[in-house]
Amino acid sequence: MDLEEAIRRRRMCRNFSDRPVAPEVVDRLLQRAVRAPSAGFSQGWSFLVLQVASEVERFWSAVADEAWRSDPNLPGLLRAPVVVVPLCSPEHYLQRYSEADKVGHGLTTAGAWAVPYWTVDIAFATMLLLLGVVEEGLGALFFGRDRTAHERLKTEFGVPDGWQPIGAVLVGWPAADWGPKGSSARARRPLSEIVHRGGW
Ligand SMILES: Cc1cc2nc3c(=O)[nH]c(=O)nc-3n(C[C@H](O)[C@H](O)[C@H](O)COP(=O)(O)O)c2cc1C
């Protein structure tokens, strides 16, 4: 599959079949993800990978609150056999930008950063993972929860302090009826509205 096709075919999947995903496929997805660019090549990223049924159940117990129990998409989501939680560590960036070649930028405290590159980097890596999912013929949903759910998730899986989940990616084989739903069914904004050539 070429890049153009992978980009065009990538849509969020909210209805998975219960067909398992081979562990080596997940490994390939992760290998691709870490080809992402990274500020100062700090690579302050991690992936919590849950691909055993009991782990995935614990994930859902940690993140699915009452509001989710009534979400019509939930049964289709629960069938996804793999959950990848992308995390970032600001501290990696502060340490990297304290090294001799970077210290001059004045970015040794989190508050000094105009943009939190730790979030940018893990988002780039997650995007590569999502494109890899298309390449493998699989489906994925990236979604986020609130702070409380993220904290519960960290506690449940022993994530050390300093690591921040940016959300979670469900990975699995799409069910027959998986097409764009919810926000994904909205119209794409035209380039004419988005692009400002030569000035705003
Ligand atoms: C940061 C972020 C958070 C998202 N959170 C959710 C979510 O909580 N639930 C959900 O169903 N989709 C979520 N999505 C998926 C978006 O709804 C989806 O990407 C958007 O509607 C465009 O559709 P597409 O990805 O199928 O092209 C999220 C996407 C991003 C990038």
Q: Where are the domains of the chain?
A: 3-169
Nearest residue to 18 (alpha-carbon basis) of 141, 175, 137, 130: 175
Q: Which residue has the tokens 């993800």?
A: 33
**CA 12, CA 178: separation in Å to the nearest integer?**
9
pLDDT value for 67: 77
* Number of the ligand 1 atom closest to the C-alpha atom of 145: 8
Higher pLDDT, 96 or 66: 96
Whether residue 68 has its Cβ less than 6 Å from ligand 1: no
Among the residue ranges 17-26, 67-76, 88-97, 110-119, the one predicted with the least confidence is 67-76
Ligand 1 mean position, distance from CA 121 (Å):
18
With respect to CATH, is domain 3-169 assigned 3.40.109.10?
A: yes
Nearest residue to 65 (alpha-carbon basis) of 152, 128, 133, 127: 152
pLDDT at 46 over 80: yes
pLDDT value for 65: 79
Could you tell me whether strands 168-172 and 82-88 are parallel, antiparallel, or unpaired per DSSP bridges?
antiparallel
- Single pTM value for the model: 0.96
- DSSP E strands: which ranges in 57-167? 82-88, 139-143, 164-165
pLDDT value for 199: 97
